[in-house]
Amino acid sequence: MEGQEKSKECDKGFSSGFMLLKPEEVRIVDLFRILYSSNLDDRKFVDSSSEKEESFRYRWLIFISIVAQKMLIFTAKPMAWTGSTIEMFLNLLAVNKNFFLLLINLIRGKDDWPDRDSATFISFIGNMDKRMKLDSEIKPEHGCSYYSALSMMASKASYENPAYIETVVKDHWKMEFLGFYDHWNDYQEKATTQLFVCRDKSENHDTIVVAFRGTEPFDADAWCSDFDLSWYELQGMGKIHGGFMKALGLQKNVGWPMECKENPNRKQPLAYYFIRDKLKSLLSESENTKYILTGHSLGGALAILFPAILFLHEENLLLQRLEGVYTYGQPRVGDVKFGKYMENKLEEHSVRYFRTVYCNDMVPRLPYDDKDHLFKHFGTCVYYNRHYQGKVVPETPNKNYFSPLSAIPMTINAVCELIRSFTLCYSKGPEYKEGWFMRVFRIIGLVMPGVSAHSTQDYVNSTRLGSSDVFLPPQEMIP
């Protein structure tokens, strides 16, 4: 026990409370014991500052989280190989026009293997929606509607390789590409966080876009962050999701000091500190330059946690220049106290935060929100139904994904979305045509409703087809 207490003081001394899961240390016997023992403190793989007995429901959620992470760790390499193989096959199809020509070229020995680092290689997610251009109908003078459309396209582009992103930014968006960056995770001891930065500059405006990459389908590390129920409580702020903080740049053993401490094992910089310093440098060039933060899925969680640490460090210059935070399909990141803290701080610094949710997307409904679980959403929720009709809501309909009452309506929605994938291009235009790969994903959504709804396709459509009234103050909305 003495060694355990010492570990707690060393690694969590910066927080006023914590609950940390360690799936790498769990044994099968210990894992099942958690279901019938209400005391978490005697479990080596559960490190908690609380000594109270926990309910069975809460322990069941911990059990599920540990099992999911353990499976992801075990299957990390096969997942990565599967994803890599599917991506290569999809790009081979694109290079050879179709499957029949691919077979002929392989037989003739004329196979042209795509280069993963080239500007023409498209990711798994990118193959679902190959649109690259911004919507020409939405212009900078449209304010939040423009920033939302730009942010979603940047969030989608963040899943691609640096050469592809640079080509899109320069050639299709006519903007300045400022770099693509890999960032270290002190706890996983590898680079797990990616983002890129670009600049939208003209005579009338100058906006820097920071886009965090979300969860890739076959990235076990990112999925572990999503399933991790660990949390830290920061004094005066509330409880914050531990996995997301680690991905953003939480320093092991020291937390969130003002400056980044040296670590000889760190091979890349930590995301928060690197982007903070880069933004300071860019913003110092002009008083008129502002910036926006964005991301889809896990990327959205990192985008909204970035200003949280700016509040902690009282980075007033960066907060004054923050035009807004735009997230898409973002999971919950903290408890009620943290949500209230963030809403007060965002209002105090006049920072706009729009959290966009499409229909039955499962990710914004995770981690679970009930009396036994602490994660809650906050901020302005812009909700779009399957017709891409948007409205501001206090809470996402069917706030918890695993709700038996919603299973049938969600399945009906998934069927309607599959049908819509064949008809939307006729009613809205050829740019809304869905390919065979996206339709396969829609079919998967029939079995697991809410999975296909997390695709970037529906979020891009929402920003283009949805009404811009959702970004107006309540008193200015058109009834």
Q: How far is CA 368 from CA 50, 225, 373, 403, 421, in A?
A: 20, 15, 6, 10, 30
Q: Give dist(CA 216, CA 124) in Å, integer.
A: 8
Sign of CA dihedral 318, 320, 323, 328: positive
Query: Bridge partners of 383?
Result: 357, 391
Q: Give dist(CA 114, CA 93) in Å, integer.
A: 10
In one letter, which amino acid is 279?
L
Q: Give dist(CA 68, CA 452) in Å, integer.
A: 20
Query: Bridge partners of 21?
Result: 46
Comparing CA positions, the residue from 313, 255, 251, 249 lying closest to residue 280 is 313
Within 8 A by CB and 6+ apart from 418, the residues are 439, 442, 443, 445, 446
Q: Give dist(CA 223, CA 67) in Å, integer.
A: 13
Q: Are strands 290-296 and 206-212 parallel, antiparallel or unpaired?
A: parallel
Catalytic residues: 297, 361, 454
Q: Give dist(CA 326, CA 148) in Å, integer.
A: 6
Main-chain dihedrals φ then ψ at residue 232, nearest 5 degrees: -120, 145
